[in-house]
Structures are given as structure tokens and as C-alpha cells.
Amino acid sequence: MLIVIENLLGPDEVADLRARLNEARWIDGNQTAGTRSIAVKQNLQVDRECPVGHELSNILLRRLGETPRFVSASLAEKIWPPVFNAYQDGGHYGTHVDSALMRDNARGLTLRSDLSATIFLSDPDSYEGGELVIEQEYGAQGVKLAAGDMVLYPSSSLHQVTPVTSGQRLCAILWLQSAVADAAERALLYDLDQSIQALSSDRAVDDPDVDRLIHVYHNLVRRWAQV
């Protein structure tokens, strides 16, 4: 399931974040690539120990927690702090799959990557190329969103970032472990929750039909969640 969440960040928030990123310490992205990925990865990213990066990462984590659609779609149990990256001058990331298990011993964090996310921070008209291409069951889909939008997709998917031939593509990327590991079950829960929210807006707060749907939703979460 591929989900686009529009306007996660507003224009002023994007502008402020981009300005702060100018103060960050950038390093070669190959320093965090795996043995196979290093051959296909060419980008820059903010050093994980950079204080500016930590501050901006926490801003994004708070926003994600305040975004109902993200919470509904992800049922996030653990989130790997967002990483900021930049592609320019032909920078790209060839076809790869994200690591199934991610460990940060310094922070005592280990997670199973169920979902990956990209938050776009550059206007799509400001750079050429740089599409996030995600291979799905019915073929590959290219994603190039407005600044402030986010795409959420299975970490198990093969994906790539095509070369940026002009301009600069700034993004934040993150990975998460969901309380519901099975993608099909998570998709059913998301559809059910979105339907409940849509119906609730036109019904009384004590509507019995909505209450029954909420009852079903939570009992399915109880059955499928691994916490």
C-alpha cells in the first residue's frame, strides 16, 4: 500500500526547515550505506550526530504524531529518527531494498522496518529528475511530490531515486516498525479507520452503527497487533 499525505508541512514550515538545514553538517551518504548499497548510492546527508539534524528530526517526529492519517496508516510502534538527504549534480540511489532490521546501539534502538517514508522538502519544479520509483505488485510507480508532502510505502519494496540532473532535491526519510506487521492486515485496518472517520463526521456522537464499527476495529487491532 502506497499512501500520500499532503501538506504534512506548510510552506512556511518547509522554508524554515530548509533554512536551518543550511546550518547542518553534511556528509557523504555512502558513510551509512550497506555493502551492496554503497555501489549505487550517491547523495549527501546530514551527519546523524549533528545537533541541527537532531532538532529538525524531533520537529518532524512531533508533527507525525499529530497527523491522524499517518497514525492510522502506520500504527507506528517505533520510528527511526528522520534522516535528511540531498541529491544534486547527478546524485541518485539505484534500485535497492531497505534493511529489514535496523539497529542504533548508541541510542538503544532496534526496529523491524515495515514502512518507509519520504518527506519532500524541495519544490518539484526546482529540480530535474529525482523521482522516487517504487516497484509494486502491479508495476513501478514514480513519486515526485510537492514540498511538504509525504509518501508512505512498504520497506520491502524495491525502490530507487533517479538521477537529479539539475537543481537540488532535499528530503527527509524515515523508517518505522508497525504494531501490525502484516501489510494486508494493516491495509484493512486503515481502510476501516478511514471509513469510520468519514461516517462519524455526519453522525451523532453516540451513533450505534459507528460504535459497532469502532468495536470491530479495535478488536481486529487487538487480534493482529504485536506489542
pLDDT digits (tens, 9 = 90+) for 92-136: 999 999 999 999 888 889 999 999 999 999 999 999 999 999 998
> CA dist 76 to 59, 72, 141, 203, Å?
17, 9, 24, 28
Cell 514550515: give the residue: 13
Q: Are residues 173 and 201 in the same domain?
A: no
* 20 marked among binding-site residues: no
> 32 pLDDT exceeds 70?
no
Instruction: Look over the chain and give the mean of its residue pLDDT values, rounded to a whole number.
Output: 94
Q: Are residues 135 and 172 in the same domain?
A: yes
Q: Are residues 91 and 74 in the same domain?
A: yes
pLDDT of residue 205: 87
* 218 marked among binding-site residues: no
* 202 marked among binding-site residues: no
pLDDT of residue 90: 96
pLDDT band at 35 (very low <50, low <70, confident <90, very high): low
Set of cell numbers at residue 118: 519520504
Domain count, the chain: 2
pLDDT band at 34 (very low <50, low <70, confident <90, very high): low
Q: Are residues 205 and 124 in the same domain?
A: no
Give the range of the structural domain holding residue 217, as residue numbers without chain letter.
Answer: 183-224
Higher-confidence residue: 106 or 140? 140
Q: Are residues 30 and 136 in the same domain?
A: yes
Q: Are residues 71 and 152 in the same domain?
A: yes
Q: Are residues 114 and 220 in the same domain?
A: no
pLDDT of residue 36: 56
Q: Are residues 220 and 115 in the same domain?
A: no
Q: Are residues 122 and 90 in the same domain?
A: yes
Q: Specify the pTM.
A: 0.93
Q: Are residues 100 and 205 in the same domain?
A: no
Closest listed residue to residue 98, CA positions, set 12, 187, 161? 161
